[in-house]
Amino acid sequence: MDLPIGQTKDQLDWIGSCAHTIDLDQAATLLTSGERHDRSRPQVVLTADDGTADWVDVLLPLLVERNLPMTWYVATKFVEDQANFPYEGTPISWGALREAVSTGLITVGSHTHSHAVMTRLDTQHATHELDRSIALIEEHLQRPCKHFAYPKALAPSMEADREVRRRFVTAALAGNRSNVPGRTDLARIGRTPIKRSDDARRFMKKLHGGQRLEGWLREQYDLVRHRDAET
């Protein structure tokens, strides 16, 4: 969302030359099977959160040009209501999401309905957030919604965890963790955030599973920063 376009292009080119990009369905199958791969050329899944208009206006053409698949986790309330995100991001439309899915490169997953932080949600509220999001995605896109990412990358309550596991094939958190075939809980998939400050050296380290201390420190910071957050 907040990366300059030139930096985004460079990073996608580095990924294309140094890694094998797969979609999230393929990744789930490989992680479950325990199949290993050549570590010199990592397998990666590209993801983005929330659902802003720049996904289709800016990002999608770059992905199509490079034939790179990506998963977009959508907070459906903002798309349905066409309400700006709290950081003033303009929401994408359902029509634009349909256009993106039609390329065959984009998988749309849930990011809850209202971008609800799930650390303290009970069963009733978690069920509403998940089912409303799934229903809207499947109604508008005519595709199953099988994947989920936790808002603010915060781990859920026991009740919310149970409801997520009942509905989705995968659920993503954070932590700069590599996902190891045969040893990864699909409801706790690790993700590695990319920042403006990631130069080529740092980006390549992350691409090969590095910067784990940064990921751990970010998790601890977010636990404190978002401890009272609801969305």
C-beta atoms surrounding 73 within 10 Å: 22
The structural architecture, per CATH, of the domain 5-225 is Alpha-Beta Barrel (3.20)
Bridge pairing between strands 70-74 and 147-149: unpaired
- What is the reported pLDDT for 141? 98
Q: Which residues contact 63 (CB under 8 A, 6 or more apart)?
A: 12, 46, 69, 70, 103, 105, 106
Largest pairwise CA distance in the chain? 46
Q: Which residues of the chain have pLDDT under 50?
A: 1
* Domain residue ranges in the chain: 5-225
- What is the reported pLDDT for 223? 63
Place of tokens 């690790």: 190
pLDDT digits (tens, 9 = 90+) for 127-170: 999 999 999 999 999 999 999 999 998 899 999 999 999 999 99
C-beta atoms surrounding 121 within 10 Å: 22
Closest by CA to 155, choosing from 176, 179, 171, 137, is 171
Specify whether the CB–CB gap between 58 and 1 falls below 8 A: no
